[in-house]
Structure 1
């Protein structure tokens, strides 16, 4: 099937989170025209990084689809929606969840189907946890199959492991793809591009690339020590993966290394590389049940929404948001906006940076799926991400990624919309700084959180002392 090669395919991304699937689709040649996300913080992250996407904030059950169509038509006149993709909340299906069959979130795929029925895209992609297929004796899975079939789609599904597509992390996801029945072509699953050469023989063709290790993913970021934040690279790229994520760009964002309390550092010290909380003597354990130290030689454990599930392989600290994003295969110019982290109570309404990263679909996995859709529909395999516009927007960032996160300069032109297409205010802390020229190095522990809000706007070469009690003039590279 051939399409107009001058115009990319258009997609809608539902339950979009911070935009991992959108990032991968656009890297494969599919423009995300509109996204929907319940929470404003990840929605703002997506809007900041995807200037060509109209981002709607609110419950999918209240979407005014007529208005959504108008928004798309105004921005992309004369084009139809080719792809609808979405990952309904997985708590009811997850093997780590409470497995409540009556969890109202389990039925949100019905609202996904409502959007599919309205726009009638050529391809539908449903992403979820692996438990989606087997949970509750497969009843919800069968309901999804029946729903898409009734809408006129030929459905296939598979379990894909992100590590096989260049993501340095064990992460399996359930993927269901529906192709509209009038399209007489079969969707082909993406072939793995990476493997573990120690256990997988090259019997299906030319040698694949080796799985990307933790060290290959984040070793160039290890110059930042606990208590510091960096906004620029200080080391050269040390692997092909790092070259790809950096893209000849020297700026860094969301790279604040936590300075933990002495008791936490002592606990971490008992966990060897590749070890777990089980290595810690009982007298030094806390209520935390899940914790593992990364092993630099191997791929990462699954990146989750809680930052203290993983410990850096060489330092007694959790990974930075940037390091977690690297393990998820986000490029370094992708900025996460909102609180850096939140307490248990606040997470009922906040989606902080760590959670945004942990909940995301790895962009490289999404890109692999997107390539197959582009191939199926005869479109162009071109990376259409608006990288220049995205990087120009970095000039609008103010403050630090710590505490309440980055603020935006008053000249910024980011927009978010409610489910009826009306503009809404941005979830930004207005107390953050709006001007340039403040000190390069700041002792935030001495200043306290109130003082920290009055600090600097990042410059290209800044490495900032965030929590350390050492002198403000200390340089991290000394």
Structure 2
């Protein structure tokens, strides 16, 4: 795929995944000598695409490189730091960020690029980020830590990621400055998607099924959501075809509870709390216990300890992409029709569409097992972003 006869530096990749970060370095003229990941599906996908050779390998403190290297690129596991990954304090995977930094120091690579979630810079993760920087600085590296938006690199999604760029020596430098040739949108990303493309297999829900009925009521940029108001949120009580009929007064009750549960806080965690009958009566004096009971029986509300709350309190499912905007972050669940909808068709996203939104070229091959393909795409660095990071690294090595 790439000519490495005139390569400008030797690259080794750790926690490579399917190779989104590595692809950019190969594209920019680096020689990707080797890549390592402990996931067999990631390794297989990487090797299908011919820009380096990946091996299945557990990366930890005891492991070391076998040959000199100019650049180490790494994407250590991010789930423990992520706000969307079920954050767990002291997640054992978090230590792999520090192990990566120690391997960089041990290797004496001229440059290192370590990519992770934007939440790595959050207060609760600050200790790990500080330790990572201390390891690199004590090892002789100058560090740049920046949070980037993929859209600024021309990628059609609002994905944000932290990039640690470390160069051996004490000379300060500026990190990559993103640029784009045009404003990215979902519609532009989907131009020219043909049925013959690998991993493009649109699947429509069965007519009159739950997914089909709900999808018909969700417009561009909207989502099924009971806990937020506004034009972007379609509550269950506005889809009577599936969830059942409600009167105008019942809708008033439900929307009042929606506001009260966020306004009248009882706990110091979360973002909403159940409300009492007296609180509801303060807003709607004529409301009755029987009316609340009816809404509970029909699945619009629930009750516990004499408090009332809405049913289905997730903050958005069936998110329909807006063709004239960028996509939400492409994550590992992007193929689930209950979570994301095609911008104009009543179905979920194909693997190839998810790949387009990440900026992967159409010739990039993904596994036939769709679940694995979505996971690999969702965990990857968008290639347009990695290309510009690699180009900045090329200048730093000049």
Q: Same fold (TM over 0.5)?
A: yes
| Structure 2 equivalent of residue 187 of structure 1 | 173
| Structure 2 equivalent of residue 90 of structure 1 | 78
* CA–CA distance in structure 1, aligned partners of residues 173 and 26 of structure 2: 19
| Structure 2 equivalent of residue 267 of structure 1 | 214
Shift of 1:220: 2.2
| Structure 1 equivalent of residue 156 of structure 2 | 168
Q: Do 2:61 and 2:99's aligned partners in 1 also have CA atoms closer than 8 Å?
A: no
Secondary structure of the structure 1 residue equivalent to 2:130 = helix
Q: Do 1:93 and 1:135's aligned partners in 2 also have CA atoms closer than 8 Å?
A: no
* CA–CA distance in structure 2, aligned partners of residues 7 and 355 of structure 1: 31
Higher relative contact order (CA 8 A, sep 6+): 1
| Structure 1 equivalent of residue 103 of structure 2 | 115
Deviations 1:387-407 (A, max 9, x none): xxxxxxxxxxxxxxxxxxxxx
Structure 1 residues 365 and 60, CA, compared in 2 at 3 Å: closer, same or farther?
same
2:393 is equivalent to residue 373 of structure 1: yes
Equivalenced residues, count: 310
| Structure 2 equivalent of residue 42 of structure 1 | 42
Q: Do 2:18 and 2:42's aligned partners in 1 also have CA atoms closer than 8 Å?
A: yes
TM-score (norm 2): 0.73
Query: Which aligned segments of 4 or more residues in structure 1 are displaced greater than 6 angstroms?
Result: 285-288
Structure 1 residues 37 and 290, CA, compared in 2 at 3 Å: closer, same or farther?
farther
TM-score (norm 1): 0.61
Shift of 1:269: 1.0
| Structure 2 equivalent of residue 19 of structure 1 | 19
2:166 is equivalent to residue 144 of structure 1: no
Secondary structure of the structure 2 residue equivalent to 1:61 = coil
| Structure 2 equivalent of residue 125 of structure 1 | 113
* CA–CA distance in structure 1, aligned partners of residues 120 and 379 of structure 2: 16
Deviations 1:107-166 (A, max 9, x none): 002321342133211011111111112242611111111111121101111111111111
Structure 1 residues 301 and 33, CA, compared in 2 at 3 Å: closer, same or farther?
same
Unpaired runs of 5+ residues, structure 2, are 226-233, 244-310
| Structure 1 equivalent of residue 236 of structure 2 | 281
Shift of 1:170: 0.6
Deviations 1:66-118 (A, max 9, x none): xx52xxx6xxxxxx311111121111111123332311001002321342133
2:206 is equivalent to residue 257 of structure 1: no
Task: Say which of 320, 345, 350 aligns to 2:350.
Answer: 320
Structure 1 residues 297 and 62, CA, compared in 2 at 3 Å: closer, same or farther?
same
Larger radius of gyration: 2
Q: Do 1:42 and 1:337's aligned partners in 2 also have CA atoms closer than 8 Å?
A: no
Unpaired runs of 5+ residues, structure 1, are 74-79, 195-208, 224-229, 232-251, 342-351, 379-478
* CA–CA distance in structure 2, aligned partners of residues 339 and 137 of structure 1: 34
Q: Do 2:141 and 2:168's aligned partners in 1 also have CA atoms closer than 8 Å?
A: yes
Aligned alpha-carbon RMSD (Å): 2.3
Q: Do 1:12 and 1:33's aligned partners in 2 also have CA atoms closer than 8 Å?
A: yes
* CA–CA distance in structure 1, aligned partners of residues 129 and 360 of structure 2: 30
* CA–CA distance in structure 1, aligned partners of residues 392 and 144 of structure 2: 13
* CA–CA distance in structure 2, aligned partners of residues 64 and 127 of structure 1: 20
Shift of 1:266: 1.2
Structure 1 residues 169 and 137, CA, compared in 2 at 3 Å: closer, same or farther?
closer
Shift of 1:64: 4.5
